[in-house]
Structure formats: C-alpha cells, structure tokens
Chains A and B, each alone.
Chain A
Amino acid sequence: MKRLTGRSATIFAAVLLIAGCDRLPRDSAGALKKIESERQVRVGVAEHEPWVRWEGDRATGLEPELIEQWAQTLGARIVWRRDSVAELVKALHRREIDVLAAGLEETTPYAPEVAASQPYLEAPDREGKKTPRVIAATQGESALLFSLDRFLGQQDEAKLSQRLHELSQPAP
C-alpha cells in the first residue's frame, strides 16, 4: 500500500512537471497570443527562388507554403509584406512583422538580428554545398519561435525535398 502511494506520488509529480513544461516558454511581448487573438500573422517575404516567389498579390514557394500551413494550425490568416531581406530584418526588429521567409541559410549574416527556427531542410546552396535552411521570427518571442519550431519538426524532410524539387522545375 505504502509502495503504491509512493508510486502515485511520483506519477503525480511527473504529471505536474509535464503540465509545467507546457507553460514554458512564454513571449516577452506576447507575439503568439496576439496572433491567436487577432487571427492574423504578419509575414515578410523576400524573393529567393525556389524558396520564396511573388505571384500577383501573394507569396508562393516552399517557405510560404509551410508558413500557410503553420498559420492554419493557429487559426490565423496571413498578411504578406514584400521587401528586401535587409528591410524585412529591420521590420522584424521593429515588430512590424512576426516571421520572415527568405530561404535563409542557418549561417546567415542576419543571424544575430533574428530568432532563427531550427533547420527544417538541408538543401544545396549556390555552390552546391548542402546547407540547413531556417525561417526567422521576432527576437525575444520564445513561444512564437517554439510554435514554429514544433510545426517544422513535424514535417517530413523527404516530402519537403520532393516539393522543393518540383518548385525548382521551370513552369511549362
């Protein structure tokens, strides 16, 4: 009996710990909460074939596709903003956008100014060297970044690779 109580106490403690885990991390300025309450994600896109393309009035390409799916899980629609990477990094810093898609490499020189996601795919760069690719988020917003990271972690890298290959083919 005593042993059973001990065991249930351990389980109880573990459950508490796991429940506690769910509450971390939090944002420093509540970016994720804002996305969920306003039901919109502000996404900066800089054209970079085949990761990011601009067609008409919306972004396409691998990263915008991924971001659209992620926004869906949050029940939010997307407001696109098209600009150069340098301008968008500044906008990210000013909190005018939440995430930035530009086919960034993990070793991007912009790394100190953004919160980079975990690499979601390894793909060859211009010199053909395989480099991990990341999506950027606003710095200091750990819950936002974690939400994005968790979504990217669920993706099948082989399928993404395949999709990237399709997108790389010239349109008929």
Chain B
Amino acid sequence: MRPVREFDLPSEKQAVLKKAHRLEIITVIYICTSATFLGLTMGSSQAMRTSFFEDVLSIIPAITFLICIRIARWPASKNYPYGFHGAVSIGYLTASLALIGMGTFLLIEAVMKFAAGERTTIGGMEIFGHTVWAGWPMLCAVVYTAVPSVFLGRAKLKLAPQIHDKVLFADAQMMKADWMAETATAIGVLGVGLGFWWIDPLAASLVSLSILHDGWTNLSAAVGDLIERRPMKTDRSGPEPLPDQLRNAMQELDWVEDAAVRLREIGHVFYGEVFIQPRASVEDLPRRIDEAAGKARSLNWRIRDVTVMAVPKLDAESNPPD
C-alpha cells in the first residue's frame, strides 16, 4: 500500500514540543518523589491513601505523552500506510480508562469504610528518634505534592493548544485536579487532628469523585476521537476551524465551482477528503487535482494528507449547516 509522505513539525512547533517533553520528564521524576513521600506518610488516613493512588495515577498521562510523541513520529510504511498517529488516541483512551477505574475503586473503598464504622485515627510517627503527630509529615507530603502541580499544570496548559496535543492537555487538567485533591486531603488530615474523624472519608470521597470526573471527560473525548467525530479544538472549547479554512482555500481556486471537505483527527493530525465540483470548461483535471491536494497539505502542518476527488455536482447535503 502507498504510505503517506514523510512529515515533521514546523520548527517553531518543534521548540514547543521540546519544552513539553522536558516538562513531562520533570513531571515523571517529581511524581516519583512525591508518591514515595505520600506512601511513607499515609498511615491509616483514607484521604491520604486516595491521594497516594491519585498521585501514582497522575504519572500515566505524562508517560503516555512521552511514549506517544515518540511513536507518532515513526515514518509511515507499507504495513502502516497512515503512519502511527493513532498511537496518541490509543494512549489517550488508556489513560482515561485508568482514571475511571481508579476513581471508582477509591470511591467504593471510602464509602465502604465509612459504612463499616471505621474511624480514621492518626497517632504518632517516629522521625529521627522523635515521636511527632503523624498528621504533620502527612501535611508536608501533601504540600510537596500540591505546590509544584500548580506550576507544572499551568505551563502545560499553555503548551498543549500550540502543538494540539490532547494527552498533554489531559495531563495539564489532571495536575489541576491533583492540587485540588491534595487540598481536600489536607483538610481531611487536619479534620482528624481536630477530632472530626468523618472529614477524612468525606475528603477521600470528594477526591475520588474528582478523579472520576476527569476520567469521564477524557474518556468521552478519547472515544469521540476514535469514532472520528468532527474535529474539536484541543481545549475542547468548540469545533476546530481548520475544516472550514480548508474548504474556503479550495473554493478560492479559479477552476473550482464548489467544494466540500471531510476531515478526521488522528492524534495531532488530520486526514480526509476534499470533494470538488469543477467549473465547466476545465482542462488538465488530474494535474489541477494534484495541485489542490498540495495546497491543502501546505495550508497547515496538521493536514497530514487529503484525497481530492472531482464530483459532477455538490448538493446541499455536502455542507450541512451547524
């Protein structure tokens, strides 16, 4: 089969990608340390336990990103004629499923412990031969986990729409959920310290719900991608304007009477079809069609490949209103 052409990001986008790559490596290292810290201090607090798993899970989008951008750049071949951009969608689906699974598990656990009448008790912890209230090291771990998440999340949120990376966007959102969840955990731990044991399972449930919510929004976006829904903007704020831009560009060609497009999003890029109704007296149609395809590809780096097809007449259904 005929593979699609070689492809690379434009140079200014490559710089953004490099930055994102570096941020994600920092994230992975940082999550490893914070998860260790949380794991060592969690004790019997359900909120701390939930927080620990939430933290371990939040490494998944970062790792998915690091693996997928590598795979997505493998060249297309005879056996994979469309290239490997689909890897990003698969990674995205996997990450969102992991979120849903863990959110459900932790929510059930918190509710069951509450129902069984288990009361969180936070006693002492020996640190360098000194027994301190275990809530203090827990709170330190929580702060250590939460504060850098704010900055990392913000930085990623800025980069994601520039390289149209949904995994990166999901990761940025997850970091936001992360520090919000940590705040709930801190309230849970302090609540236990003040003698309100029920604040702990309550905080744990809220954190689980936030994980579930993240999982659900990401799952619906990932499934939408795989069903090849109409392309949406990376920040999910609405439909992607690129299909309309492509149609306009095609209509501007002097030999074109009318045009319609159909694009699908695979990972960072688009594949699709352009339907052109040529003007009556057009000569040398194959060459013109080939030029139109070239123009389409050069319109935006995200248009990876399009098939241009000449049709005798485009009807109203070709361009349905919004």
A→B interface (CB under 8 Å):
21, 24-28, 30, 93, 112-113, 115-118, 137-143, 145-146, 148-150, 152-154
Contact = CB atoms under 8 A, between A and B. Distances in A.
B231 interface: no
Interface string B97-139: 0000000000000000100111111111110011111011000
A148 B116 CA distance: 25
A93 B194 CA distance: 20
22 contacts: A24-B133, A24-B190, A25-B123, A25-B135, A25-B194, A112-B118, A113-B118, A115-B123, A117-B123, A117-B124, A118-B131, A139-B119, A141-B121, A142-B121, A142-B135, A142-B192, A142-B193, A145-B122, A145-B124, A146-B122, A146-B123, A146-B124
Q: What secondary structure prevails in chain A residues at the interface with B?
A: mixed
B7 interface: no
A139 to B, nearest CB: 4
A148 B123 CA distance: 8
Nearest to A24: B193
> Which of A117, A138, A141 has most chain B Cβ within 10 Å?
A141
Contacts of A145: 121-124
Interface residues of B, number: 27
Contact of B121 (A21, A93, A115): A115
Contact of A28 (B44, B131, B195): B195
Contacts of A140: 119-121, 197
Interface of B: 44, 113, 116-126, 129-133, 135-136, 190, 192-197
A137 B121 contact: yes
Interface centre among A24, A25, A112, A148 (most CB of B within 10 A): A25
B2 to A, nearest CB: 62
A47 B136 CA distance: 36
A115 B120 CA distance: 8
B192 A25 contact: yes
B113 to A, nearest CB: 8
Contacts of A28: 119, 195-197
